[in-house]
A and B are shown apart, each in its own frame.
Chain A
Amino acid sequence: MRNSIVRSVVGVLVVLALAAVPAGAPIAQGKGTIKIATQSPLSGGQAALGEGIKLGAQLAVEKFKGPLEKMGYKVEFVPYDDQAKPDVGVSNSKNIIADKDILAVIGHLNSGVAIPSSEVYKEVSLAMISPANTNPTVTDRKYTNVNRVCGRDDVQGVVGSEFAKGLNAKTVYVIHDKTPYGQGVAEFFRDDAKKKGLNVLGFEGTEEKSNFDPIITPMKARNPDLIYFGGIYDQGAPFFKQAREKGVKSKFMGPDGMDSSDLVKIAGKNVVGMYYTSAAGPASVLPKAKQFVDDFKKKFGKNPEPYAAEAYDAATVALKAIEGAAKGGKAPSREDVSVAVRKVKLAGITGDIEFDAKGDRKKALYFVLQVDSDDPQKWGDNKIVKQLAIAPPSSSAKP
């Protein structure tokens, strides 16, 4: 697969070239510039969610940069495209830590990208606040600069299996995408399902994106009550579509990676009725999020995708922390900001945000939702069938 390495290298070069352009001529003004960066996939199959993260954070920066500007700082927002690829994320991170003005990173979408990238941020104690990375490893490394406003897969997987049991499913079949995120959450689902006495008929990983026939054939023959796909919608949607079209009658379920209107755009009526767990509720159930949704629609002309609200809160936390660190009058350092993030208490639009010693939210929300319509515009109307607020597990399970 040398060709794919060549492709990655070329991709990185292109990103570097693009990233270098806007950094043209910084104008010194007052006390200097403070930059907030985002990293999320802005191109490729997961761009819908990644774009939402960028825009959510951008909205927060524009809304809450006032106090810092009054102190004499120029506040800038710098989005990076990690393409949902670990190598691109890491090389972006190196550019980010080289830019001394960047004091916080909001990102990433994919745990598999966030974990290696955060190793780079850690070198300089640059605060990372993740809106979407649910893999336990993200915070279980106990880095002082890594935080997240979303929930964890070891809880999300269990929420899923508990719900599956509640649906009276006796047999389940588990597929995952072999990424730290997808495989991780699928393993938590499987292990807990077994514990609860469900019969796990199969557990398969696949990187396939188009032809799922050979996986569906043995699965269909065993006729499970429920099929769980640990992964992201760009792979899950064609899988579920082909399964239904091949006559699979099982119930479908997935983790928060399925939570995008693109799921129904791709799979259409085949996924109506499917369940998915989420650590990000639709903005409609978050009472304070209405203003956010209105602002978002007004500014960007579309509905916020899942995680846009989380990114908004993450960026708000970052700005509050920088403000706190800048209070003394001296320019805040990256260490100061990382320390300050852990002290922030914020009534965010996704609920009260306060981090524990690992960087997890003291209480995160988990939801089980059901796809309601095959119209992508109505994704936000998906019904919540279960809602829970759960604290992170005290002793961490295996990653």
Chain B
Amino acid sequence: MDGSLLLGILPQVLLDGLILGFMYALIALGYTMVYGVLEFINFAHSEIFIVGAFVGVEILLGLKSAGALDALPWPLLLLLVLLAGMAASGVLAVTVERIAYRPLRQAPRLIPLISAIGISFFLQDAIRLFESLWRNAFNLVYPTMDALNVRFELTSTIDVSVKSLVVIVAALAMLAVLHLLVNRTKVGAAIRAVAEDQAAASLMGINVNRIISLTFLIGGAMGGAAGVLFGVQYGLINPYTGFIPGLKAFTAAVLGGIGNIPGAMVGGLVLGLLEAFAASYLSLLTGGAFGAEYKDIFAFSVLIIILIFRPKGLLGEVVRGRA
């Protein structure tokens, strides 16, 4: 394989990896925030993520059938859909916590984990039931907004589409807001206090239940935003689509150091880049012996190696520190 081709596609591969990585990072926040506060893995988060995507597509399809899709300017439309997806997923996450996790908070750690897996199954099939009754469809397609598909061709092999830029900008903005919220506001201080010591925090007059609900709301909203961006970027969703990205995002959270917010971002980006590299280059470098289908094996092998040397993740696990 000639070197010019290998180098020529490198910027595009980096870009693909970044987009995927930001997506993972946004989902990973939901895992990591809940873990930081409750030391509990919310396995239903992959479904909370995809619910955001479904709410987004329903709104877009509704507007499309009303003929309003082309009437509204796309940034406004996108903002509307993002906010709706965030609200729906955030509220869903809070509801799930209230119904399935809070009654089990004093139970041994494995019990709410099983409850979470149950909720995950329940949500998948609830979406499937709803969509088959409502639209008689399994796969839903995001309506194309032509403005989002505009591409800037940098060279013959490298180009950037508007929607890729939107994903990156939206993800960066949300991560920045979250960072400020947790570290610079009173609410953030309360979240950190609850993560540090629930009993002491409640003695200081913090409503622990409300803060935990808030944590789920924020984590869920980030997941919902990721869901909408996922739909806009890749175009096709079904009730089971959330599972694999959810699993990858969970991995990204562990890789970055679970419970650690900047860690989730770093973990997501590393995993996204590894995956993109493996899928694009494995077959080129091995002359076709190992193809793109080995991307997960490659990416996860690297993860295992990283975790052997840094068992607490790249930035360190935060269990009783910052949320």
Contacts and interface: CB of A to CB of B under 8 A. Distances in A.
Interface stretch (A17-25, A42-50, A334-342): A42-50
Interface in A254-270: 262, 265-266, 268
Contact of B283 (A207, A209, A218): A218
Nearest to A218: B280
Interface string B148-171: 010101000101010000000000
A210 B230 contact: yes
Contacts of B13: 214, 217
> Which of B236, B237, B276, B280 gathers the greatest number of chain A CB atoms within 10 Å?
B236
Contacts of A43: 128, 132, 138
A168 interface: no
Interface stretch (B192-200, B214-222, B289-297): B289-297
B5 interface: yes
Interface string B2-43: 000100110011001101100000000000000000000000
Interface stretch (A198-206, A308-316, A352-360): A198-206
Contacts of B233: 211
B284 A213 contact: no
Nearest to B139: A45
Contact of A262 (B9, B139, B149, B295): B139
A245 B283 CA distance: 23
Interface residues of A, number: 40
B161 A218 contact: no
B302 to A, nearest CB: 15
Contact of A217 (B9, B161, B237, B243): B9
A234 B139 contact: yes
Given A214-B292, A215-B280, A247 B121 contact: no
A207 B138 contact: no
A205 B19 contact: no
A217 B139 contact: no
Contacts of B151: 245-247
B16 A241 contact: no
Given A214-B16, A237-B236, A3 B117 contact: yes
A43 B127 CA distance: 13
A383 interface: no
Nearest to A10: B121
B77 to A, nearest CB: 19
Nearest to A211: B234
B19 A213 contact: yes
> Majority SS of interface residues in chain B?
helix
A238 interface: yes
B288 interface: yes
Given A221-B157, A245-B149, A266-B139, A214 B275 contact: yes
A397 to B, nearest CB: 21
A195 interface: no
A45 B153 CA distance: 34
A170 interface: no
Contact of B159 (A203, A206, A246): A246
B65 to A, nearest CB: 15
Interface in A204-240: 204-211, 213-215, 217-218, 220-222, 234, 237-238
A387 interface: no
B236 A266 contact: yes
Interface residues of B, number: 48
Nearest to B13: A217
A122 interface: no
Contacts of B245: 210
A246 B164 CA distance: 11
Interface string A1-31: 0011011001000000000000000000000
Nearest to A241: B235
A47 B141 contact: no
Contacts of B115: none
B293 A178 contact: yes
A398 to B, nearest CB: 18
B279 interface: yes
B238 A45 contact: yes
B144 interface: yes
B46 to A, nearest CB: 10
B277 to A, nearest CB: 8
A333 interface: no
Given A202-B288, A215-B279, A246-B159, A221 B8 contact: yes
Contacts of A205: 291-293
> Which of A6, A220, A221, A266 gathers the greatest number of chain B CB atoms within 10 Å?
A221
A210 B293 contact: no
A242 to B, nearest CB: 7
A238 B144 CA distance: 13
A222 B236 contact: no
Contacts of A45: 138-139, 238
A6 B283 CA distance: 32
14 contacts: A3-B243, A4-B243, A6-B117, A210-B241, A213-B16, A214-B292, A215-B280, A217-B9, A217-B12, A217-B16, A218-B284, A237-B236, A246-B161, A265-B141
Interface of A: 3-4, 6-7, 10, 43-45, 47, 178, 202-211, 213-215, 217-218, 220-222, 234, 237-238, 241-242, 245-247, 262, 265-266, 268
Given A3-B247, A213-B19, 20 more contacts: A7-B121, A10-B121, A43-B128, A202-B283, A204-B291, A204-B292, A205-B292, A206-B291, A207-B293, A210-B236, A214-B279, A215-B279, A215-B292, A217-B157, A220-B157, A238-B236, A241-B236, A242-B234, A247-B159, A268-B144
